[in-house]
Amino acid sequence: MDLTNEIIVCQNQVLDVSNLSVIRSGTQVIHDINLSVSCGEFIGIVGPNGGGKSTLLLTILGILKPNTGTIRIFDHEPMSKNVIGKIGWVPQTASNLSSNVQITVRELIQLGTLKSKSYFQIYRKKNRELVEKIIGIVGLEEVANTRLSTLSGGQRQRAAIGKALASEAEIIVMDEPMVGVDRDSRNSLLKLLDNLCHEENKTILMVSHDLSTIKQTVHRMVYLEETIRYDGSTSEFPDLSSLAKLRGITSTHNEYSSVKSKSDKDKKLDPITIVSGKGGV
């Protein structure tokens, strides 16, 4: 994204997760995760409660450490100085912000510009222009001077996305960002995220339980339950009964037959794993 009018070369691969496993409190919660993400992709991560979605995001962010495997962000380790600011976290709590927080939309977005190298530049003209441009991108011009606590869940989520953009994040990581956001705001928020991918070349990883909404929006779906059981286009995403089989849930009425999707057969994969390659837009 060229918010600062600098030329940023969009690298093809922005994230590479290889053979990742993570142990939490002595238990392996995710294993054999392989995920390669390119610039401009909008990826929806779905799966059952406890399937490891948040664990994966926290490990990508560098908060949790891999037990085995590697994570490379722009070919650097998470949390390394080359990565700081390039990956932005939009927390779910953005929509549940306490009413005690007395901060305006513009101030929150301005805080996003506070990265180490620009700490003393916060009031410089370039930063002010950047903040105004972002307020426009997230569509909050009319409430720029309004306190966040008085805004709707969707508007707060937009402001939180704006803060991530202000740090010039190339990858935006979101864990359940639609919780507490009404349906209309959810749709426009998803449209905003889609635009960020198409027009600004941002890469988005979004965890959501809202399968039907996410399926209509993202470019690529990842189904995670301890390991990745589906990675591919939204159009080929398994239906509910196939998903149940992916999870090892068998019908009480029919005899169990192992799951074989078209791509599964072609690729001779583990019968409960469907990985149809990188999903196209």
Ligand X SMILES: Nc1ncnc2c1ncn2[C@@H]1O[C@H](COP(=O)(O)OP(=O)(O)OP(=O)(O)O)[C@@H](O)[C@H]1O
Task: State the number of binding residues for ligand X (CB under 6 A).
Answer: 11
Work out whether 177 is an interface residue with ligand X (CB under 6 A).
no
- C-alpha distances out from residue 260 to 240, 245, 265, 274, Å: 14, 10, 6, 8
- Main-chain dihedrals φ then ψ at residue 64, nearest 5 degrees: -105, 150
Q: Are 67 and 75 in contact (CB under 8 A)?
A: no
CB of 27 to Mg ion, least distance (A): 16
Question: Can you list the positions of beta strands (E) in the chain?
Answer: 13-24, 27-38, 42-46, 68-73, 87-90, 171-175, 203-207, 220-225, 227-232, 274-275
CB of 54 to Mg ion, least distance (A): 3
Q: Which residue is nearest to Mg ion (CB)?
A: 54
Q: Which of 37, 41, 42, 53 binds ligand X (CB under 6 A)?
A: 53
CB of 92 to ligand X, least distance (A): 9
Give residues 202-241 in contact with ligand X (rule: CB under 6 A): none
Give residues 39-68 in contact with Mg ion (rule: CB under 5 A): 53-54
With 0-12 CB in 10 A as exposed, 13-18 as middle and 19+ as buried, what is 262? exposed
Q: Are 220 and 43 in contact (CB under 8 A)?
A: yes
Interface pattern 9-48 for ligand X (x via CB under 6 A):
---------------xx---x-----------------x-
Q: Which of 50, 248, 277, 280 binds ligand X (CB under 6 A)?
A: 50
Q: Which amino acid is at 6?
A: E
Residues in the site for ligand X, rule: CB under 6 A? 24-25, 29, 47, 49-55
Residues in the site for Mg ion, rule: CB under 5 A? 53-54
